[in-house]
Amino acid sequence: MWGCSPGGARIRPWSVRWDGGDAVKRTEGVLSDGRRIIWFDESDDAVRDGIDRRPLPRVALASQLRFDPLLGEWTAIATHRQDRTFLPSAAECPLCPTIPGRHTEIPTPDYDVVVFENRFSAFGGGPDARGRCEIVCFTSDHSSSFGALTPARARLVVDVWADRTAQLGELPGVRHVFPFENRGADIGVTLHHPHGQIYAYPYVSPLPARMLAMARTHAAATGRNLFADVLAAEREAGERVVLAGRYWTAFVPRAARWPVEVHLYPHRRMPDLPALRYAERDEFAELYLDLLGRLDALYDDPLPYVAAWQQAPARPDSDGDRDLSHLHLRVFSIRRAPGKLKYLAGSESGAGAFINDVLPEAVAQRLRTA
């Protein structure tokens, strides 16, 4: 049951435990405009009883979903996002902790990992645009990055992704939960603070929908799982494998679309992040930090990238898509050489046909030796 602290902010702390692992303290609160905020802490001693004293108006979302009959895809129209915060200075960063004289989205003087509802959500505002968008702050250190996190903190972020996937997948109308990180000004980030996002779509988004359609065709023709066959083929070939552990393999895909592109697959097939076991989460944190270090060493400069989790639709359906799915992470960059970017111009944007200027096997070799 919610408790009330002075000023009306509601705080609800408890500890949770995943698959026999260490307890994670999870504290829920509500910001002054009614949005939910959740603190996730490595230590059970952490106190998260801050009160958001900003006089914010209630969030009024006005999103619409419109269907494109030619592509068979949905487009979200969210005009209120035009007013979202854009590249503020470090002194005005809304994702840093609150300190005397500066109130931010996180009303505590420090934090480990924080999740809160995006004030400029792409979804919400009506029955035709159900869904939710959340911000995931990886650290209170404004000058850090995901690759600079400790293994324990990276492991906590994995737990947070799993928690939010499970919780958001239960919301009415949500079909697909998509955690991701945009890193770097070249990618188009509007806030430099280390953070990611989670979109809970009211539909299955186009990329996973297309992969699942291919998986259904493959299963009908072979009786096997497409994702498992791709992983097995890459592990057997070996030339594009970058890192391999007991539970995970990272490889550059044979038909990579992007100049730098690495996929991370768990060896055990599972539908989504909540299905990851304790040891699998541990190894992922170590291996992913290793990979991010190699990516930054590729051009001796922090690499702009998108890291995107691909997982099953949020709930079972008649197509059996959750049984066909195979959780994996895709990390890719638009940087094709030092000082040069890959632009999605005529062929990619106009025809949807990708042309890659970089040989995938060469990228894999350079990452192995980075």
Query: What confidence score (pLDDT) does residue 6 get?
Result: 37
Query: What confidence score (pLDDT) does residue 268 get?
Result: 98
Prediction pTM value? 0.94
Closest CA to 263 of 129, 364, 149: 364
Domain spans, the chain: 3-54+63-205, 207-369
Pick the catalytic residue: 176, 192, 195, 328? 195
Catalytic (active site) residue 326: no
Query: What confidence score (pLDDT) does residue 121 get?
Result: 92
C-alpha to C-alpha distances, 338 to 68, 87, 343, nearest whole angstrom: 38, 24, 14
- Does 93 count as an annotated binding residue? yes
Please tell me whether residue 329 adopts helix, strand or coil conformation: strand
Q: How far apart are CA 53 and CA 99, in angstroms?
A: 12
Radius of gyration of the chain from its Cα atoms, rounded to whole angstroms:
21
What's the CATH fold of domain 3-54+63-205?
HIT family, subunit A (3.30.428)
* Structural element, H or E, at residue 233: helix 226-237
DSSP string over 89-135: -GGG-TTSBPBTTB--SB-SS--SEEEEE-TT-SS-SSGGG--EEEE
Query: What confidence score (pLDDT) does residue 5 get?
Result: 41
The tokens describing 240, both together, are: 């594009």
* Helix, strand, coil percentages, rounded to 5, for the chain: 30, 25, 45
Q: Which residue has the tokens 């009614």?
A: 34
DSSP string over 151-167: HHHHHHHHHHHHHHHHH
Per-residue pLDDT of 136-155, as tens digits, reads 999 999 999 999 999 999 99
- Does 137 count as an annotated binding residue? no
Which residues have CB under 8 Å from 271's CB, separation 6+? 311, 312, 322, 323, 325, 326, 327
Q: How far apart are CA 273 and CA 36, in angstroms?
A: 22
Q: Which regions of the chain are under pLDDT 50?
A: 1-9, 20, 318
Tell me which amino acid residue 324 is: L
- Does 96 count as an annotated binding residue? yes
Query: What confidence score (pLDDT) does residue 2 get?
Result: 30
Q: How far apart are CA 75 and CA 205, in angstroms?
A: 10
- Does 103 count as an annotated binding residue? no
Q: How far apart are CA 262 and CA 360, in angstroms?
A: 9
Domain spanning 207-369, CATH class: alpha beta
Residue 196 dihedral angles phi and psi, to the nearest 5°: -130, -175
Q: Is the dihedral of CA 120, 307, 155, 293 positive or negative?
A: negative
Burial class (CB in 10 A: 0-12, 13-18, 19+), 228: middle
Q: How far apart are CA 291 and CA 340, in angstroms?
A: 21
Closest CA to 176 of 37, 328, 309, 266: 309
